[in-house]
Copies of this chain bind each other. A is one copy, B any other.
Amino acid sequence: MTYESGTDQYDPWVKRLHVKMASPSLKDNTGDADRLIRTLKRELEVENIRIPYSLLANLPHKLRELQYDCSVAVYEDANIWNIIDIFPPDGYQQSYGIALDLGSSTLVMRLVNLDKGEVIRELSFRNPQITVGTDILSRIYYATQTGGLEELHSMLLDKINDKIHELCTQLEITPHEILALCVAGNTTMTHFFLGLDPYWICREPYIPVVNSPELILCKDLGVHINEMAPVFALPNVGSYFGGDLIAGILVSGMNHEKEICLLVDVGTNAEVVLGNKDWLMGCAGAAGPALEGGVASMGMMAGPGVIDKVWIDPETGKINYHTIDDLPPVGICGSGLIDLVAHLYLSGMIDLRGKFVPDKCGNRLVEIDGIGHFVVVSAEESATNQPLTLSQPDIDSLIRSKAAMYTILTTITKTVELSLRDISKFFIAGTFGSYIDPRSAIVIGMIPDLPLDTYIPLGNTSVKGATLALISREAREECMGIRDKITYLELNVNQEFMNLFSAAKFIPHTDKTLFPSVKVNESQAIGGA
């Protein structure tokens, strides 16, 4: 789903209109505010236009200074057109908006030119709440302590305001030229952003304070752009199905597809949506941070020197890898980890339970504190002067995570009496998802054995979705339509789920017919099972 300036679909939330009013005279002595509204009504051909109280005090000075010829920023909400601000007609030619991905680890902010629908600058930065807790549950707990919620809210807002200030300084624009803000995040992050208590999100029956926040103004929230700029938070479906996933569906366009599509956002939670233009079903389940590389001893978030791709020569057993920015290796990220385990399996160095095969590993297998470690990068090659190793528990953890993912995928398709083979497009949302080699993910049995072109990485769909909502009225309405369309499947971790999970805790699976393409070199075939 793309929008371009000049097409019908390009319809930004905030519009700037050139408004030239008749100057006051004895024959036309309408009030200043009424004069502006009267002219705007004619221009926009609408009934309800609102000028906020906070603009009234300065209005007569401004209109006279501009000789009743100005540029007016407006947006529509429930058939009411609200004035944000009034500008000179020939200055400030651009309107800006901010799209924000409220990631629990990383925030991504885009400055968008609303007049042209162009992304001017994108920057990403760590979520400052990480200092309170890397995982969201520990932050929810922290929020229950006195002042905790306020602290989490303001550390987030302060950081966002700092970055806005940074953007404005770099680009030489003033914050009051930024006229709208769209955010997408999971339900808890949206709560933190709005200063709402997430206490009930993680407690049965899992109730958010709000799923579809009404219109909020930046001045009330404390975001330092134009104080009358509206904030649109992509709606949540529930506690475990947030605006970030609505953004994913929006960006994928699966809600317009005739064929069955599946969307996965891989993270600590595996969030999955199945459906097409007629129906959408969503579910989410804990997959564990292993898929993101967050657990392995050498695991880390993507960054300079981090191994993001691995392949093992089947003939020589030589381990090849690629690091970000081609720097000496410092660790491995999720995509590298999936590659590594897939290739360890294909080369026979681990068996289908994910256990090291000492014969095949040779001297790469060392024991530290009684635990087997596989040396991926030697101390000499490593930027840390320490060997980078993968431990048996790291692999075990990844296998549990991939098994959880596969079980969730199986369960959601079974629920609607479909098979994984019915999926015509498999969208992978999230920056991390873009780095995963689907072939490796198939080999380890994390995702189904479908033709590789079925897999479509979408990148950071949260910031993309927030951008769409910023520049397209249709996209905003579509968010609401998607929210209303979704059936949320509460995953019952019952005996059947556990059976499926146990069967998936092998590489690629106990049922090899599910993964016909995955074949280990016969010579490397290993025993067991």
Contact = CB atoms under 8 A, between A and B. Distances in A.
Nearest to A77: B80
Interface residues on A, range: 35 or more
A147 interface: no
A197 B34 contact: no
Nearest to A199: B60
B34 A210 contact: yes
Contacts of A371: none
Interface stretch (A173-181, A200-208, A292-300): A200-208
Given A25-B205, A56-B194, A211 B78 contact: no
Interface string A54-84: 1011011100000000000000001110000
A221 B34 contact: no
Nearest to A83: B214
A56 B207 contact: no
Interface string A14-47: 0000000000111011111110000000000000
Interface string A457-491: 00000000000000000000000000000000010
Contact of A206 (B29, B34, B209, B220): B29
A211 B24 contact: no
Given A207-B24, A207-B29, A53 B216 contact: yes
A339 to B, nearest CB: 38
A220 B59 CA distance: 17
Contact of A53 (B25, B212, B214): B214
A239 interface: yes
A204, A205, A209: residue with the most chain B Cβ atoms closer than 10 Å: A209
Contacts of A53: 194, 213-214, 216-217, 220-221
A419 interface: no
A149 to B, nearest CB: 9
A304 interface: no
A238 B51 CA distance: 18
Contacts of A29: 205-207, 238-239
A48 interface: yes
A298 B282 CA distance: 83
Report copies per complex: 2
A236 interface: yes
A394 B236 CA distance: 74
A201 B196 CA distance: 45
A338 to B, nearest CB: 33
Contacts of A25: 205
A123 interface: no
A215 interface: yes
A36 to B, nearest CB: 10
A516 B50 CA distance: 54
Nearest to A26: B205
A195 interface: yes
A399 B264 CA distance: 88
A32 B199 CA distance: 12
Which among A48, A56, A207 has the highest number of chain B CB atoms within 10 Å? A207
A79 B208 CA distance: 27
Interface string A92-136: 000000000000000000000000000000000000000000000
- A-B pairs, top 9 by smallest CB distance, nearest first, are A33-B210, A31-B208, A31-B211, A26-B205, A24-B207, A53-B216, A34-B211, A48-B78, A29-B205
Interface of A: 24-26, 28-34, 48, 50-54, 56-57, 59-61, 78-80, 194-197, 199-200, 204-217, 220-221, 236, 238-239, 490
16 contacts: A24-B205, A29-B239, A31-B210, A31-B211, A31-B236, A31-B238, A32-B209, A32-B210, A33-B211, A33-B213, A34-B211, A53-B216, A57-B195, A57-B196, A57-B209, A60-B197
